[in-house]
Structure 1
Amino acid sequence: MFETTLTATIIAAVAAAVAYFTWNTNKAVASLGAVVCLVAAAVAVLAGFLGTVILVLRIIPVLLLVLGIWIAWKVFTSRSEAGRR
């Protein structure tokens, strides 16, 4: 996902530069550059968001494993109520 985000960001930046610098000389190329910029920027945002969601989904099982180990540790190392009296 990172590669897609990076590539789309670079394409959007180049298209924005094309749109900006060709506006006075060629409106059609500038308009096409603006459209390419918008599409590439949308792809970059979407890929970045999906990359973040995937990262979170990779971390959740690790956190659940740590929580399970901690709960098992507490259960097996704690004294029973009958043993305290």
Structure 2
Amino acid sequence: MSEDRTGRGESIDLHARRRAYQLVRAALSDDSNQEQGISAARSLAAAVLAEAGIDGVAEVAVDLSMRLASALERIAADQGLAAVDLAEVWFVD
């Protein structure tokens, strides 16, 4: 099976999901050296581009966005906030 339901009415390619996971793991891998995590994530993103082109990068971006939105919804619910308000705090200066 090449697709999996995200729970939001979207289908995401499982390869894109695996790559998204690898990108997050790379970013989280070394708390003491953020630059190393960023470098690893960039390398993985470049690999996605080389393997699957811009459509593959778009799939990974969509998967990451959907998962981040889901996480923000859970955090916001725990804090009694609207998810869009929490997203604004996280992303807008």
TM tier, smaller: 0.3 to 0.5
Give the structure-2-normalised TM-score: 0.36
Q: Which has the larger radius of gyration?
A: 1
Question: Which has the higher relative contact order, 1 or 2, with Cα contacts under 8 A spaced 6 or more apart?
Answer: 1
Greater strand proportion: 2
Give the structure-1-normalised TM-score: 0.38
